[in-house]
Amino acid sequence: MNTGKPDWRRIALNLSAVLARWILGAVFLYAGLSKALHPVDFLKLLRQYDLVQSPLPLNVIAATLPWFETFCGLLLLAGVAVRGTALTLMLMLVPFTVLVFHRALAIQSALAIPFCMVKFDCGCGSGTVFICRKLLENCLLILFSAWLLAGYGRQLSLRFSLSKPHLRRTEPETTHK
């Protein structure tokens, strides 16, 4: 029922979700481009994880991942296929975070230093960082992705869902008639 009064709480929630979408998009755009412009550096960092032994899969990951992140960042900033992109980012962020965590544990164990004093370039596009800060950042990004996946952040989006474009018009805040 429309009482004519704006629901400020809901508006604030929606705007926060849009902000989260933009932040997530900007972070991935920056991280992707910074790696895409220096693919050899990223290749070397990626190799330290010993994920694969053969050159071909390693090269494919190092060559495509930065551009894929850039692509996802652009989609989020523009608000295109947001839920699918958020799901993809979650599927990338969770294993990346686990990998980074394991590598940090190995370094901590090898050097016998406090966990939060471990500092290394994880290949995340942000250079050398303290591990605790990196893990917190990643958790925040995972939360943002989950929020978008739940359907929030559809305001100011070009085409929130590719399969259900009519959903944009069902939002009361975006209907101005």
Partner 1 sequence: MAVIGSLFALGANQISPRGLALTRNYFPAGTGRRLPGLLPVSVSHNASGTDFLAADSGQVLAAELKEKGLQLIDCSRAAQLFHGPRFAQNQVVFIDARDEPRYREGHIPGAYEFDPYRPEKYFDAVLPLCRAAEQIVVYCNGGDCDDSETAAVLLRDIGIANQKLLVFGGGISEWTTNGLPVETGGRSSGNLRIPGK
**Which residue carries 């990643």 as its tokens?**
138
- Binding letters toward partner 1, positions 123-162, x by CB under 8 A: -----x-x-------------------------------x
Give the separation between CA 138 and CA 98, rounded to whole angstroms: 10
Cβ at position 20, least distance to partner 1 in Å: 19
Site for partner 1 in 27-56 (CB under 8 A): 36-40, 43-44, 47-48, 50, 55-56
Give the separation between CA 165 and CA 82, rounded to whole angstroms: 11
Cβ at position 87, least distance to partner 1 in Å: 9
Give the separation between CA 72 and CA 29, rounded to whole angstroms: 7
**15 versus 67: smaller Cβ distance to partner 1:** 67
Q: How many CB atoms lie within 10 A of CB 140?
A: 14
Q: Is 67 in the site for partner 1 (CB under 8 A)?
A: yes
Q: Is 84 in the site for partner 1 (CB under 8 A)?
A: yes
- List all residues 6 or more positions away from 159 whose beta carbon is below 8 Å from its beta carbon: 79, 80, 81, 165, 168
Q: Is 115 in the site for partner 1 (CB under 8 A)?
A: no
